[in-house]
Chain A
Amino acid sequence: MAEITIDKACCKGCNICLSVCPKKIFVKSKKRNNYGTSMPDVKEPEKCVICRMCERLCPDGAINVEGERAK
């Protein structure tokens, strides 16, 4: 299973990850990042297929996905 972490210090709350995830794992939350905007939350990480689009498209390198892609 993938382990997804979002760095509070790097996230700026642009919400790109919300729309690019094919499994819609990221959801809006009331948590605040250091930038002062709302940061996403990870819901149902077991659904993750480790496509790493969120890593690639996060403009601030805040998302890290650990795990091997199933073959």
Chain B
Amino acid sequence: MVYNVNLLTRTQLQIQPNNYLKKVRQGTEVPRREDMDKKPDSRSEVVLQGNEACARAAVYAGCRFFAGYPITPSTEIIELLSSEMQKAGGAFIQMEDEIGSACAIIGARWGGSRAMTATSGPGYTLMQEAIGFAAVTETPIVIVNVQRGGPSTGQPTLSSQQDIYQARYGSHGDYGIIVLSPSSVQEMYDFTIKAFDLAEQFRTPVILLADEVVGHMREKITVHTGDRNIKRPKQRFAVSPSVDFFNGANSLVEGQLHDDMGRRIGHLPNKSGEFIEKINRKISDNVGMIADITTYCMEDADAAIVAYGSVARPALNAVKRARGIKDDRILPKFRVVRDLVKRGVKETMKTDYSHLKVGLIKINTVWPFPEDLLRQAAENVHTVIVPEMNVGKYCREVERVLWDKNVVPMPKCGGNIHTPKEILEKILEEEGVDE
């Protein structure tokens, strides 16, 4: 992003929103469409599909522009938002391709609307150039990637976690990015809201890295009904202040490297280096504010399962089985799925895993990598199992941080999710080696 201080100074920028509210109260300025007819915020419980939850959360989070292109398995998001976005007073457009969708949301964000797009696999690959553009212009956008099996057309209807590195390093050049990975429908809802807030706060593209299992699963979740009171986030020191279009600031949104005044610095190595450092460090220096993990039974654990996304669910089940915690809430509500899980449970019960002191570390913000949190959580374990639905990618990051532990990758490709039994057996195998 770039701004021109000819007309607005930094202090004026911060005063601007307050002035607006004052003017609205005094009746001298017409309130924006989104500020009118606000309903009080309350909560209710509903059964929703992951993709539907994401779409609903986007509207609640203040998203008022959606551009998309249908692709399995994320199509439900564009289907639902084609009507919901318009009902909320926003704009919706089905673009000609995913490249166009990603570009349109950047354009809309500079017009002043919070904007999102949703895609999967090949579509996400097409969006990479626009993600780089959003990173270099510091545009806050949200991109949902409901992962499917790859490479190429791959497995349109099956799940995977193969895009974990593409989400971080997909576009050319060096940039910082935030990636959230939900493992349940509730998290799909909550993380979508969080994604919008993080994007605005750090002025960066935020990727919601879901997968087909979470996207198509139906669960009972708590949703917000009513309208959210959206506050403008306080901009951090590392983030450039910026002004949306048509505010008289004469902004120049420039894809070339530029300084804070919008001047081209692409030909100046020193200044360019500073710029690259800035857009990387605004994320890496604030990992403490962004990083989020959830631990389960880690207090006395000897072995830990590090998981993210849908794989965290069988991992949690495995921990509960080993610990003898009978908590039926973790079982999916639908009959066919429950039968499958029950079969798995029966098999599990044949062997005794109760001596295994297993805990779970669920990574919620996969990028930036929560190094310190992981290090703290896994301080006392000696074995770390990393189940993931790819050839073992994220495991390398875990290995880098937990270099003194026995980190065991547990890759699974082909579209099937790990079963709790598989995870427990892997732990048994590794623990056996240790003793």
Q: Do chains A and B touch in the complex (CB under 8 A)?
A: no
Q: Could you list which residues of chain A lie within 8 angstroms of chain B, going by C-beta atoms?
A: none
